[in-house]
Amino acid sequence: MRKSVKANKLKSVLVALGLIIVLIITYFLADSELLSKNASFDASQSFVRFLDVGQGDAALIYSNGYSALIDTGTTESANDVCIALDNCGIERIDVLIISHLHTDHTGGVEMIAEQFGIDNVILPELSVGSEGLGHAEYLINKVTKTGGEIYTAKQGMNFTVGEFEITVLASFDKLDDENNRSIMLAAEIDDKRFIFTGDAEVKAENMLLNEGLDLKCDVFKAGHHGSSTSNSEKLLSEMRPKFAVVSAGANNMYGHPHREVLSAFEHFDIEVLRTDLIGDITFYVKKGHINPKYEK
pLDDT digits (tens, 9 = 90+) for 100-159: 999 999 999 999 999 999 999 999 999 898 999 999 999 999 999 999 999 999 999 999
Phi, psi (rounded to 5 degrees) for 240: 50, 50
Beta strands, E only, the chain: 46-50, 59-63, 66-70, 92-97, 117-123, 149-152, 158-161, 164-170, 184-189, 192-196, 219-221, 243-246, 271-274, 281-286, 289-294
C-alpha–C-alpha distance, residues 271 and 167, integer Å: 24
- SS3 annotation, 96-115: EECCCCCHHHHCCHHHHHHH
C-alpha–C-alpha distance, residues 43 and 66, integer Å: 10
Q: Is the dihedral of CA 182, 187, 191, 193 positive or negative?
A: negative
Given pLDDT bands bounded at 50, 70 and 90, which one contains residue 13? very low
Given pLDDT bands bounded at 50, 70 and 90, which one contains residue 41? low
Over pLDDT 90: what percentage of the chain? 82
pLDDT of residue 6: 40
- Which spans in 182-240 are helix H? 202-210, 233-239
pLDDT of residue 43: 77
Length of the chain: 296
Q: Is 28 helix (H, G, I), strand (E, B) or coil?
A: helix
The answer, yes or no, to whether residue 1 has pLDDT greater than 80, is no
Mean pLDDT to the nearest integer, 280-293:
95
pLDDT of residue 39: 42
The rounded mean pLDDT for the chain is 89
C-alpha–C-alpha distance, residues 125 and 183, integer Å: 10
Given pLDDT bands bounded at 50, 70 and 90, which one contains residue 31? very low
pLDDT of residue 166: 98
Mean pLDDT to the nearest integer, 214-223:
98
Phi, psi (rounded to 5 degrees) for 104: -80, -5
